[in-house]
C-alpha cells in the first residue's frame, strides 16, 4: 500500500512543478518539448536494454492513436493550460474526477462487479466534489477560450529562455518524475490492484498537491476544499472495503 502513496505523492508533485514551468514558457510548447524528449529517452532505454526492433503492428495503430489523442493531447493540454488560471491543488482535485469514469469503463470492459456499497462510495465521492465546484472562483478561471494548437495560440519563447534553469529544471524533473517514475510504477501496481481502485485512491494527490503549493508558492486552499476531502475520503473508504471483500485486490 505504501507504493500507492508514493505513486500519488509523485503525481502530486508534477502539478506543482508544472505550475512553475508554465510561469516561464507557454504550456502547450512545454508539453511538446517534454513528451518528445521523454519519449526518445524511454525508447532509447528499451532499445538498449532489450535490443528490440521497433515494429508496430497494424492492429496497434488505433491504440497508439487513442493514447496520443486522449492521454497526451487532450489530457495534458487542458491540464497545463488550466494551471495558468487556477492553483495546482485545485487542478489536481478536479483531475481526481477520473475514478468515476474509470469505474464505468472497468464495469464495461473488465466486468468488475459493482455492489450497492461500491455504488454508494462512488456517489458519495462524486457528490463530495460539489462544494469545491460551486465555491466562488477567481474571475480568471472563466476567461479561457477555445484551444487547438500551440502554434496557433501561443508565442513560442526565444532560444535564450530555453537555456535558463527556470525552464530546464522543471523540464528535467517532470520527465524523471512524471514520465519515468509515475507511469512505470503505475503499470507495476496495475498487476496488484484494480484500475478502479488505483484511480479512486488517487484522490490523495490533491492533499499532497496542496501541501506542495503551500511550501513552494505559499498558497492556501479554501474551506470547501477540505469539505470535499472529507466527503470523497469517506466514499473512498467504502469503495476500498468492498474491493477487499470481493477479492479484487491482491495481497
Whether residue 137 is predicted with pLDDT greater than 60 in this model: the reply is no
As a whole number, mean pLDDT of residues 208-215 equals 83
Is 138's pLDDT higher than 60?
no
Work out the mean pLDDT of the chain and round it to a whole number: 77
How many other CB atoms are there within 10 angstroms of residue 113's CB atom?
9
* Nine cell digits for residue 238: 467504502
Alpha carbon distance 63, 78 (integer Å):
21
Q: Please, are residues 131 and 227 in contact by the beta-carbon 8 Å criterion?
A: yes
Cell match 469505474: residue?
Answer: 103
What is the band of 78 on the pLDDT scale with cuts at 50, 70, 90?
confident
Say what the pLDDT of residue 201 is: 72
Distance of alpha carbon 86 from alpha carbon 66, whole angstroms = 28
CA 12, CA 163: separation in Å to the nearest integer?
26
Cα 71 from Cα 96, distance rounded (Å): 15
Does this model's pTM top 0.75? My answer is no
Amino acid at each position: 500500500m505504501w507504493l500507492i502513496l508514493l505513486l500519488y505523492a509523485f503525481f502530486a508533485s508534477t502539478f506543482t512543478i508544472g505550475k512553475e514551468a508554465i510561469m516561464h514558457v507557454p504550456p502547450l510548447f512545454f508539453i511538446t518539448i517534454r513528451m518528445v524528449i521523454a519519449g526518445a529517452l524511454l525508447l532509447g532505454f528499451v532499445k538498449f536494454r532489450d535490443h528490440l526492433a521497433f515494429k508496430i503492428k497494424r492492429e496497434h495503430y488505433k491504440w497508439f492513436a487513442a493514447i496520443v489523442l486522449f492521454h497526451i493531447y487532450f489530457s495534458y493540454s487542458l491540464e497545463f493550460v488550466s494551471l495558468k488560471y487556477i492553483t495546482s491543488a485545485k487542478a489536481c482535485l478536479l483531475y481526481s474526477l477520473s475514478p468515476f469514469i474509470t469505474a464505468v469503463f472497468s464495469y464495461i470492459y473488465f466486468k468488475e462487479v459493482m455492489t450497492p456499497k461500491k455504488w454508494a462510495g462512488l456517489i458519495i465521492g462524486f457528490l463530495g466534489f460539489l462544494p469545491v465546484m460551486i465555491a466562488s472562483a477567481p474571475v480568471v478561471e472563466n476567461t479561457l477560450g477555445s484551444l487547438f494548437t500551440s502554434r496557433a495560440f501561443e508565442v513560442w519563447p526565444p532560444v535564450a529562455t530555453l537555456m535558463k534553469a527556470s525552464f530546464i529544471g522543471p523540464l528535467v524533473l517532470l520527465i524523471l518524475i512524471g514520465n519515468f517514475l509515475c507511469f512505470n510504477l503505475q503499470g507495476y501496481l496495475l498487476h496488484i490492484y484494480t484500475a478502479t481502485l488505483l484511480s479512486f485512491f488517487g484522490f490523495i494527490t490533491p492533499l499532497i498537491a496542496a501541501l506542495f503549493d503551500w511550501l513552494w508558492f505559499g498558497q492556501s486552499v479554501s474551506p470547501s476544499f477540505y469539505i470535499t476531502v472529507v466527503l470523497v475520503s469517506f466514499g473512498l473508504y467504502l469503495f476500498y472495503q468492498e474491493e477487499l471483500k470481493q477479492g479484487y485486490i491482491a495481497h
